[in-house]
A and B are shown apart, each in its own frame.
Chain A
Amino acid sequence: MIRFLIKGLLRDRSRSLLPLIVVAIGVMLAVFMRGYINGLVVDLIELTARFSSGHVKVMTKAYSDNIDQIPNDLSILDASKLKKELETAYPDMSWVNRIKFGGLIDVPDENGETRSQGSAIGFGIDLFSENTEEIENLNLQKSLVRGKIPNKPNEVLLSEKFSQKLKVNPGERVTLISSTMFGGMAIYNFTVAGTVRFGTEGLDRGTIIADITDVQMALDMPDAAGEILGFFKSGYYSDEGAEPVLAKFEQDFSNSEDEYAPVMLRLRDQEGMGLYVDLANSMSCIVTLIFMIAMSLVLWNAGLLGGLRRYGEIGIRIAIGEEKRHIYSSMIIESMAIGIIGTIVGTGIGLTFSWLMQTYGLDISEFTQGQTSGIMMPNVVKARITPPDFYIGFIPGAISTVAGTMLSGIGIFKRKTAQLFKELEA
Chain B
Amino acid sequence: MENNMIITTEKLTKRFPMGKTEFTALKGIDLKLGMGEFAGLIGPSGSGKTTLLNIVGSLDTPTEGKALVLNQSIGNLNAKQAARLRKEQLGFIFQSYNLLQVHTVFENVEFPLLLLKYSTTERKKMVMDALDWVGLTDKAKQKPSQLSGGECQRVAIARAMVKKPSLVLADEPTANLDAANSHNILQTMEKLNQELKTTFLFATHDEKVIGYLKRKIFLKDGMLDKDEIL
Q: A interface vs B, CB < 8 Å?
A: 1, 4, 7-8, 11-12, 15, 312-313, 315-325, 416-418, 421, 424-425
Interchain nearest-CB distance for A21 vs B (Å): 18
Q: Which residues of A contact B31 (CB under 8 A)?
A: none
B79 touches A424 (CB 8 A): no
The interface residues of chain A lying within 8 Å CB-to-CB of B79 are 323-324, 417
- Of B2-10, B65-73, B84-92, B218-226, the stretch lying at the interface with chain A is B84-92
* In the complex, chain A residues whose CB is within 8 Å of the CB of B99: 316
A105 to chain B, nearest CB (A): 79
- Determine the residue in chain A with the shortest Cβ distance to B99: A316
A318 to B100, CA, bound (A): 13
Residue of A nearest to B111 (CB): A320
Residue of A312, A321, A418 touching B86 (CB-CB under 8 A): A321
Smallest CB separation, B143 vs chain A (Å): 9
Residues of A within 8 A of B59 (CB): 318-319, 417-418, 421
* Minimum distance in angstroms from B153 CB to a CB of chain A: 14
List of B residues within 8 angstroms of A425 by Cβ = 94-96, 171
Asked if residues B57 and A320 are in contact (CB atoms below 8 Å), the reply is no
- Determine the chain B residues whose CB is within 8 A of the CB of A317 once the complex forms: 111
A7 to B107, CA, bound (A): 10
Is the pair A322, B87 in contact by a Cβ cutoff of 8 Å? yes
Given A417-B59, A417-B60, A321–B100 Cβ distance below 8 Å? no
Residue in chain B with minimal CB distance to A8: B102
Are A4 and B111 in touch, CB under 8 angstroms? yes
Chain A residues, Cβ within 8 Å of B20: none
For B96, give the chain A residue with the smallest CB separation: A425
Q: Smallest Cβ distance from A189 to chain B, in angstroms?
A: 85
With both beta carbons as reference points, the residue of chain A lying nearest to B103 in the complex is identified as A8
Which residues of chain B from 96 to 112 have a CB within 8 Å of any chain A CB?
Answer: 96, 98-103, 107, 110-112
Contacts of A417 in B (CB 8 A): 59-60, 79, 82
Residue of A nearest to B97 (CB): A316
A7 touching B60 in the complex, CB below 8 Å, given contacts A320-B87, A322-B87: no
Q: Are B114 and A4 interface neighbours, CB within 8 A?
A: yes
- Give every chain A residue within 8 A of B57 (Cβ-Cβ): 319
Shortest CB-to-CB span from A86 to chain B, Å, is 68
B87 cross-chain contacts in A, Cβ below 8 A: 320-322
Closest to B91 in A: A320
Which of these, A313, A324, A325, A416, contacts B100 with CB under 8 Å?
A313
Number of interface residues of B (CB under 8 A): 32
Q: Tell me the minimal C-beta distance from B22 to chain A in angstroms.
A: 15
Task: Tell whether, in the assembled complex, residue B86 and residue A319 are in contact, meaning their CB atoms are under 8 Å apart.
Answer: yes
Q: Is the CB of B54 within 8 A of A321?
A: no
**Residue contacts A-B, CB under 8 angstroms, 19 given:** A4-B110, A4-B111, A4-B114, A7-B107, A8-B100, A11-B103, A15-B102, A312-B98, A320-B111, A320-B112, A320-B115, A321-B84, A321-B87, A322-B83, A322-B115, A323-B79, A324-B79, A421-B59, A425-B96
User: Of A12, A316, A323, which contacts B98 at CB under 8 A?
Assistant: A316
* A7 / chain B contacts, CB cutoff of 8 Å: 102-103, 107
Asked if A323 contacts B83 (CB within 8 A), the reply is yes
A4-B107, A416-B60, A421-B59 as given contacts; A12 in contact with B86, CB under 8 Å: no
| Most chain B beta-carbon contacts within 10 A, residue among A318, A319, A424 | A319
Residues of B within 8 A of A424 (CB): 94, 98
Please give the distance in Å from B26's CB to the nearest CB on chain A: 13
A421 and B86 CA atoms in complex are apart in Å by 13
Chain B neighbourhood of A418, CB < 8 A: 54, 59-60
Q: Using an 8 Å CB-CB cutoff, how does the interface string of B49-61 with A read, 1 for contact, 0 for none?
A: 0000010010110
User: Considering the chains assembled together, what is the distance between the CA atoms of A217 and B92 in angstroms?
Assistant: 100
Residues of B within 8 A of A318 (CB): 59, 83, 86
Other contacts beyond A319-B86, A319-B92: 8, CB < 8 A: A12-B101, A313-B100, A317-B111, A319-B94, A322-B115, A417-B59, A417-B60, A425-B95
